[in-house]
Amino acid sequence: MKKILIVGGGASGLAAAISAAEAGAAPVLIEAREQTGKKLLKTGSGRCNFTNAYMDPDRYYGGPGFIRSFLGRFSTEDCLGFFGELGLLARERDGYYYPYSNSAASVLSVLNARLRALQVPVLMNSPVTHASVLPDGCFSVKAGEQTLTGDSLIISSGSPAGADAPAGPFSWFPELKVLRVTPYLPALTMLYGSEGCERVWDGVRCRGSVTALGRTETGELQLLAKGISGIPVFQVSRMAVRALQENEPVTAELDFMPDYGSEEVRRLLTEASDPDRGTGTKTLEELLRGWLPRKLIPVILRRAGLFSDREVSGLSGKETGSLREALKHFTYRVTGNGSFREAQTVSGGVDTAELNDDFEARKIPGLYFTGETVDIDGMCGGYNLHFAFGSGIIAGKAAARELNA
């Protein structure tokens, strides 16, 4: 039986070890930390959103052809089937799948239990500090105090997302210089700015849309002392971070009334300023208290150039237009972004053109990459874990097949 070394006992490494062992190979899982799956436990605020009913290439960035082929081989049903076999009960909410227990620990637990049942050796506290390709095409890995050799090597070492930035991806494997690897940048993270309104709106959570670089996302916005956050901001952050890196100007447009079209807001404002309706005596502050969170009102009024004690009935058409603009098209200049530690994933990693559909490096047979080591990143909604588990399962099975052939 041939040996497969797997570097990294996170989501994709655990899946790779299970699938390789089930396919008849002898994997060894090597984990730097004192336990497997530490990041997995933090996912989905401890609830682990592990896949999604809506699976489409448009939910991912990086090699669209590659991701289309991947999704053809690993669908939502495949992911649910894999975990169902492991004994995980799942539940769905708005297309997002979570463990039925609502606890990420259940996901890690069924993965670890399967590894134990398959008798896969797991080396903990064993950071891989060096790896190389041997003259016979096998692989050597220095893990902690041990040197291990394997017929295949699966790199499932993740990314700096949720942690600090590393010296450079794969600095411990010099031969990977032959592969095209895009440097990592944070993704699914907050965006910073300094418009002068941040301290006023700090702590507000409200429904809103954000549009940046041609993409619009709607959901709960979180307005912070440093900038803007929340799932809609995370969804557009990947492109914004890359643009900032290129020194391109980035402006996010915020819509604080996304469920009301511009004309509807105009109608609401016109009606409110109609003295016959009895609302005309209201101040702007009083009117907006019925529409927005309190701490957002001074920000909107300041942007519109209006005082809070102005009576609604006295607004000119121009002033109504400015208010509508501030509510529906609040431009926010983005000047920075959350760090790797504050990010849920990264953009960057091994270019998909370097890999075949089994996640094997075209230039180094027997070497595989999974999860966040690959330059594919998904949106919020379980897409990154879906990719991590699927890439691990495919790579583990392929490594075993090739070795047994």
Ligand X SMILES: Cc1cc2nc3c(=O)[nH]c(=O)nc-3n(C[C@H](O)[C@H](O)[C@H](O)COP(=O)(O)OP(=O)(O)OC[C@H]3O[C@@H](n4cnc5c(N)ncnc54)[C@H](O)[C@@H]3O)c2cc1C
> Where on the chain is the footprint of ligand X (CB under 6 A)?
7-13, 30-33, 38-40, 42-44, 48-49, 127-128, 156-158, 161-162, 172, 344-345, 371-372, 382-385, 388
β-pair partners for 185: 347
Q: Measured from the CB atom, is 42 or 73 closer to ligand X?
A: 42
Q: Measured from the CB atom, is 38 or 207 closer to ligand X?
A: 38
Q: Measured from the CB atom, is 156 or 273 closer to ligand X?
A: 156
Q: Measured from the CB atom, is 255 or 372 closer to ligand X?
A: 372
Q: Measured from the CB atom, is 257 or 385 closer to ligand X?
A: 385
Q: Tell the smallest beta-carbon distance from residue 13 to ligand X (Å).
A: 5
The torsion angle over the Cα atoms of residues 25, 153, 360 and 34, rounded to 10 degrees, is: 100
Question: Which of 35, 34, 7, 42 shows the shortest CA–CA distance to 158?
Answer: 7
Q: Tell the smallest beta-carbon distance from residue 282 to ligand X (Å).
A: 43
Q: Measured from the CB atom, is 320 or 384 closer to ligand X?
A: 384
Q: Tell the smallest beta-carbon distance from residue 289 to ligand X (Å).
A: 35
d(CA 338, CA 349): 19
Structure tokens at 201: 């709106």
Q: Tell the smallest beta-carbon distance from residue 218 to ligand X (Å).
A: 19
**Pairing between β-strand 377-378 and β-strand 60-61 as defined by DSSP bridges:** antiparallel
What is the total residue count of the chain? Answer: 405
Q: Tell the smallest beta-carbon distance from residue 268 to ligand X (Å).
A: 37
β-pair partners for 207: 220
Q: Tell the smallest beta-carbon distance from residue 301 to ligand X (Å).
A: 36
Q: Measured from the CB atom, is 143 or 301 closer to ligand X?
A: 143
Q: Tell the smallest beta-carbon distance from residue 377 to ligand X (Å).
A: 8
Q: What is the CA radius of gyration of the chain?
A: 25
Q: Tell the smallest beta-carbon distance from residue 168 to ligand X (Å).
A: 12
Distance, C-alpha 261 to centroid of its chain: 30
Scanning the structure block, which residue is given the tokens 């991947």?
70
| 33: number of Cβ within 10 Å | 15
Q: Which residues contact 225 (CB under 8 A, 6 or more apart)?
A: 198, 199, 202
What are the strands, taking DSSP E only, across 151-271? 152-155, 181-187, 191-192, 204-212, 215-223, 227-229, 250-255
| 12: number of Cβ within 10 Å | 34
Question: Which of 400, 395, 396, 392 shows the shortest CA–CA distance to 11?
Answer: 392
Q: Measured from the CB atom, is 124 or 138 closer to ligand X?
A: 124
d(CA 255, CA 372): 32
Q: Tell the smallest beta-carbon distance from residue 83 to ligand X (Å).
A: 13
355 near 369, Cβ under 8 Å?
A: yes
Q: Measured from the CB atom, is 230 or 371 closer to ligand X?
A: 371
**In the complex, residue closest to ligand X by CB:** 10
